[in-house]
Structure 1
Amino acid sequence: MVRSRKYVGLLLLSALLGAPVAAVAYGFLALVNYLQPALFIRLPVGMGFHTAPAWWPVPLLAMAGLFVALAIRYLPGTGGHSPADGFKPAGTPAPADLPGIVLAALASLCLGVVLGPEAPLIMLGAGLAVLAGRLARRDMPEQAVAVIAAAGSFAAVSTLLGSPILGAFLLMEASGLGGAMLILVLLPGLLAAGIGALIFVGLGSWTGLGAFSLSIPGLPPFTHPSLAEFGWALAIGFAAAFLGTGIRRLAQLVRPHIERRAIILTPLVGIVIAVLAIGYAEITGKSSSDVLFSGQSALSSLIKNASSYSVAALVLLLVCKGLGYSLSLSAFRGGPVFPSLFLGAAAGVALSHLPGLSVVAAVAMSMGAMCASMLMLPLTSVMLATLLLLSDGIAVMPLVIVSTVVAYVVTARLTPRPAPAADQPGPEVVEADPEAGDRGGTR
Structure 2
Amino acid sequence: MPAHPDPPAAPPSAADPLAVIRSRGYLRILLLAGLIGVPVSIAAYGFLALVDWLQAYLFTELPGVLGFASVPLWWPFPLLALAGLLVALSIQRLPGTSGHPPSEGFKAGGFPAPRELPGVVLAALATLALGAVLGPEAPLIALGGGLGALALLLIKKDSPPTAIAVIASAGSFAAVSTLLGSPLLGAFLLMEASGLAGAMLGVGLLPGLLAAGIGSLVFVGLDSWTGLGTFSLALPNLPAFSTPTLAMFLWALGLGAGCPLVAWGIRALARIVRPFVHAHRLLVTPVLGLLIAGLAVLFALVTGEDTTEVLFSGQSALPALISGGAAWPVGALLLLVLCKALAYGLSLSAFRGGPVFPAMFIGAALGVAASHLPGMALVPAVGVGIGAMCVSMLRLPLTSVLLATVLLSSDAIAVMPLVIVAVVVAHVVTGRLPEPPGRRVSGALPSISPATD
User: What's the TM-score once normalised by structure 1's chain length?
Assistant: 0.93
CA contact (8 A) 2:268 2:436 kept: no
User: Which of these residues, 95, 100, 105, is aligned with residue 114 of structure 2?
Assistant: 95
Give the corresponding residue for 1:438.
Answer: none
Whichever residue aligns with residue 365 of structure 1, its letter is V
Matched, 1:274 2:293: yes
User: Which of these residues, 21, 25, 29, is aligned with residue 44 of structure 2?
Assistant: 25
Q: Deviations over 1:74-100 (max 9, x none)?
A: 111111000000102351210000000
Whichever residue aligns with residue 283 of structure 1, its letter is V
Give the corresponding residue for 1:233.
Answer: 252
Matched, 1:351 2:370: yes
The one of the two structures with greater contact order (alpha-carbon pairs below 8 A, sep at least 6) is 2
CA contact (8 A) 1:162 1:213 kept: yes
Whichever residue aligns with residue 251 of structure 1, its letter is A
Three-state SS of the structure 2 residue aligned to 1:77 is coil
Q: Deviations over 1:372-418 (max 9, x none)?
A: 00000000000000000110111100000000111111001114399
Give the corresponding residue for 1:248.
Answer: 267
User: Which of these residues, 318, 322, 325, is aligned with residue 303 of structure 1?
Assistant: 322
Q: Deviations over 1:255-298 (max 9, x none)?
A: 11111100000000000000000000011000000000000000
Count of aligned positions? 420
Three-state SS of the structure 1 residue aligned to 2:230 is coil
CA contact (8 A) 1:81 1:90 kept: no
Give the corresponding residue for 1:146.
Answer: 165
Whichever residue aligns with residue 50 of structure 2, its letter is L
User: Which of these residues, 189, 199, 210, is aligned with residue 208 of structure 2?
Assistant: 189
**d(CA) in 2 for partners of 1:36, 1:356:** 39
User: Which of these residues, 47, 57, 62, is aligned with residue 43 of structure 1?
Assistant: 62
What is the CA distance between 1:310 and its match in structure 2? Answer: 0.7
Q: Cα gap change, 1:415/1:90 in structure 2, threshold over 3 Å: closer, same or farther?
A: farther
Matched, 1:106 2:118: no
**d(CA) in 2 for partners of 1:64, 1:376:** 29
**d(CA) in 2 for partners of 1:11, 1:163:** 21
Residues 144-183 of structure 1 correspond to what in structure 2 (within 5 A)? Answer: 144-183=163-202
Give the corresponding residue for 1:120.
Answer: 139
Three-state SS of the structure 2 residue aligned to 1:2 is helix
Whichever residue aligns with residue 422 of structure 2, its letter is S
Give the corresponding residue for 1:325.
Answer: 344
Give % identity. Answer: 63
Moved >3 Å (runs of 4+): 415-418
CA contact (8 A) 1:321 1:343 kept: yes
Give the corresponding residue for 2:10.
Answer: none
Three-state SS of the structure 2 residue aligned to 1:201 is helix
**d(CA) in 2 for partners of 1:359, 1:209:** 30
Q: Which runs of 5+ in 2 are unaligned?
A: 1-19, 441-453
**d(CA) in 1 for partners of 2:294, 2:93:** 28
Whichever residue aligns with residue 121 of structure 1, its letter is L
Whichever residue aligns with residue 260 of structure 1, its letter is A
What is the CA distance between 1:224 and its match in structure 2? Answer: 1.1
Matched, 1:5 2:24: yes
Matched, 1:397 2:416: yes
Three-state SS of the structure 2 residue aligned to 1:51 is coil
Matched, 1:335 2:340: no
**d(CA) in 1 for partners of 2:34, 2:233:** 24
Residues 286-297 of structure 1 correspond to what in structure 2 (within 5 A)? Answer: 286-297=305-316
**d(CA) in 2 for partners of 1:198, 1:309:** 38
User: What's the TM-score once normalised by structure 2's chain length?
Assistant: 0.91
Whichever residue aligns with residue 343 of structure 1, its letter is I
**d(CA) in 2 for partners of 1:177, 1:249:** 29
Whichever residue aligns with residue 407 of structure 1, its letter is A
Q: Cα gap change, 1:417/1:282 in structure 2, threshold over 3 Å: closer, same or farther?
A: closer
Matched, 1:377 2:424: no
Q: Which runs of 5+ in 1 are unaligned?
A: 422-443
CA contact (8 A) 1:386 1:393 kept: yes
Give the corresponding residue for 1:57.
Answer: 76
C-alpha RMSD over aligned residues: 1.4
**d(CA) in 2 for partners of 1:30, 1:160:** 12
